[in-house]
Amino acid sequence: MLFAVSATSSLFAANAATLWKKDCAKCHGVDGRADTETGHKRLMNDLTDALFQSKFTDAEATQSIKSGLKDAKGKVIMEAVKGLNDDEIKAMVAYVRSLKK
């Protein structure tokens, strides 16, 4: 049973890395540092920064992935990631947390 859980966790982690590269890396960068053209334009935060990561909960990260983010004026600063199921979103949140240094 433990092997099955471990294998499933590994599959979710691999899938999250693939989803990250497909859906997130363009803006957040492959390494999460947001050292990209879009990351600079949108003044995105470095997701490897432990202090920044401490400022949001897993529930808030989940909501951001599902619904996107808007600034105080209502301007979209992060598009929602479309087509993910709940397990994939959970894996993505875990992946974001794994970027923390």
Q: Check whether 2 has a pLDDT greater than 50.
A: no
Tens digits of residue pLDDT in 31-81:
999 999 999 998 899 999 999 999 999 999 999 999 999 989 999 889 999
Looking at the structure of the chain, the number of domains it has is: 1
Whether the Cβ atoms of residue 38 and residue 26 lie closer than 8 Å to each other: yes
- Domain containing 42: what range? 2-98
CATH code of the domain containing 28: 1.10.760.10
Residue 24 has pLDDT above 80, yes or no: yes
Is 50 within 8 Å of 100 (Cβ atoms)?
A: yes
45 SS3 class: coil
Residue 11 confidence (pLDDT) above 60 = no
Element (H, E) at 93: helix 86-98
Place of tokens 């363009």: 26
